[in-house]
Amino acid sequence: MFFKKTKLALLHAATLGAALSTPVFSQQQPVSIEVNLAKVKAPMQPIWAFFGYDEPNYTYMKDGKKLLTEIAQFSKVPVYVRAHSLLVTGDGEAALKWGSTNAYTEDAQGKPVYDWKIVDRIFDTYIERGMKPIAQIGFMPQALSSKPEPYRHHWKPGDNYNDIYLGWAYPPNDYNKWAELVFQWVKHSVARYGKKEVESWYWELWNEPNISYWKGTVDEYIKLYDYTADAVKRALPTAKIGGPEVTGPSWDKSQVFMTKFLDHVTAGKNYVTGKTGTPIDFITYHAKGAPKIVDGHVQMNMGTQLRDLDKGFEIVASYPALKKLPIIIGESDPEGCAACSEDVSPQNAYRNGTMYSSYTAASFARKYELAEARGVNLLGAVSWSFEFEDQAWFRGFRDLATNGVDKPVLNVFRMFGMMEGNRVEVKQDLAYDFKRVRDESVRKEADINGIASKSANSAAVMVWNYHDDNVPEPDATVKVNVQGLPQQKMMLYHYRIDKENSNSYEVWKAMGSPKQPTAEQIKQLEKAGQLALLTSPQWIEPKNGNTTIEMQLPRQGVSFLHFKW
């Protein structure tokens, strides 16, 4: 049902003329969200506890270590981390869209030289924090590349994105040497971290091989996968290996790649063994949205991302032998280029403020429902967002923190970190269900909705007020009716992300957007970056297990109700 414009909105639009040419859809009536804690849907799988980034050498730098520590601290389960370029040749210098470890070189006689020092430094940083790697096997070491020159790029925001795809993106000149490299890496990892630890990791081959990250053919990728899987399993038979990490399954070329790969691992002739099929323990692909500038404001496109997710689920579900395998969305984001900053890509202006956080809340909730509808096993969805060391404050990268200060989006993950036990029913008689968001995105009335969980001693409800168009709107009146609570006194904590709460960006702007904040200002920003309570915690006593919480929820705001007894 579409909401009519109010007289006030019409008058305001007439006054401003063309400046507000975008339709305004106001929520005139209070929105009621019905939560039934007694109706369990499924375990509250922590699909959010997966993060990734292009620049592996940021891992052990000052702000990288600080952010990883914070992420590990707000999760009760191990967080998985995926990084590119773990086998790239170089000196370990960090740069945008670049990283290197020098794990593999060759001597003058062409014999392999293995050096795990930088790879170990990266993985040690994870393991020390109780995190686990999604160990990405790639990219091609220079000595193994079938086109080794040119190899290193020097890309920066505003440059042609295709400039990055150089010698590291090519197939190997020797598949047996490549396989031995993989074998030695897994074997070394077991020796360093122990068999049990490495068994809990996920090993995967490459990244987005259906675009220029892979300069070979589909068949060459499949051949590389066979050699890689065989090497991983020879080093540790119980290790988990997967792929193909294609991007955009709703794109026909991506579908062709993905189905050809899945056909091969289920029924094709193995390049190494000559037998039918190849080991695969989990399936990976990517899903991205598509923001743009419309009438001077950012307009997101969540539907594009959800259609990619859904098509991938549909493809996996079409293979009976694979349908129950875990699926990891290797990158699951509002758009495709984390290192494309707002100053050169204005459509990315959503990243510093609350639009990124509300989008994240609304989209993750729909990932659960899409997977459930297709009957597939969604294990995780990697947010390809980390931090960019020593860059301008709030430059508008797709990151979780800037210069060690947390951005609003990180607080949504703090909220998810408090959701445990089982996912429970939130009635879907609201404006949007997952199918409508998938098919239409959020272009009419706002998407005001929620996701809820219950454990033995707590319950949690996350509520958002999201819209694709980032234009001002009046706050919405939202009533959250919760049924199925214990009939006893309990504590209610109400957390909020909006313009005034859990928002370092607004505090930074209020300071005058300092390019070099003082030490005192940095302390204020760090405090503002934490998840904040909207009100003081309060004791409540539900009547017959029911309670109603009424709130004013701003556009792009997220509330989190945490009941503890």
Residues annotated as catalytic (active site), given as ranges: 208
> Would strands 476-483 and 401-402 be described as parallel, antiparallel, or unpaired?
unpaired
Amino acid in the structure at residue 482:
V
Per-residue b or e along 485-505, where b marks 16 or more CB atoms closer than 10 Å to that residue's CB: beeeebebbbbbbbeebbbbb
Q: 352 — alpha (psi -120 to 50), left (phi > 0) or beta? A: alpha
Burial class (CB in 10 A: 0-12, 13-18, 19+), 194: exposed
- Cα 88 from chain centroid (whole Å): 23
Rounded distance between C-alpha atoms, residue 33 and residue 448, angstroms = 9
Place of tokens 């005139």: 28
The alpha helices in 342-441, defined as continuous H runs, are 354-374, 408-417, 434-440
Rounded distance between C-alpha atoms, residue 431 and residue 415, angstroms = 24
Contacts of 40 (CB under 8 A, 6+ apart): 422, 423, 424, 425, 454
* H or E, element range at 553: strand 547-553
Count other C-beta atoms under 10 Å from residue 483's C-beta.
18
Count other C-beta atoms under 10 Å from residue 368's C-beta.
19
- Nearest Cα to Cα of residue 536 among 490, 491, 499: 491
Rounded distance between C-alpha atoms, residue 325 and residue 315, angstroms = 13
- Do the Cβ atoms of 189 and 198 come closer than 8 Å? yes
- Do the Cβ atoms of 361 and 446 come closer than 8 Å? no
- Do the Cβ atoms of 107 and 143 come closer than 8 Å? no
- Nearest Cα to Cα of residue 381 among 396, 397, 370: 370
C-alpha distances out from residue 504 to 294, 499, 513, Å: 26, 9, 11
Per-residue b or e along 45-76, where b marks 16 or more CB atoms closer than 10 Å to that residue's CB: bbbbbbbbbbbbbbbbbebbbbbbebbbebbe
Rounded distance between C-alpha atoms, residue 253 and residue 57, angstroms = 32
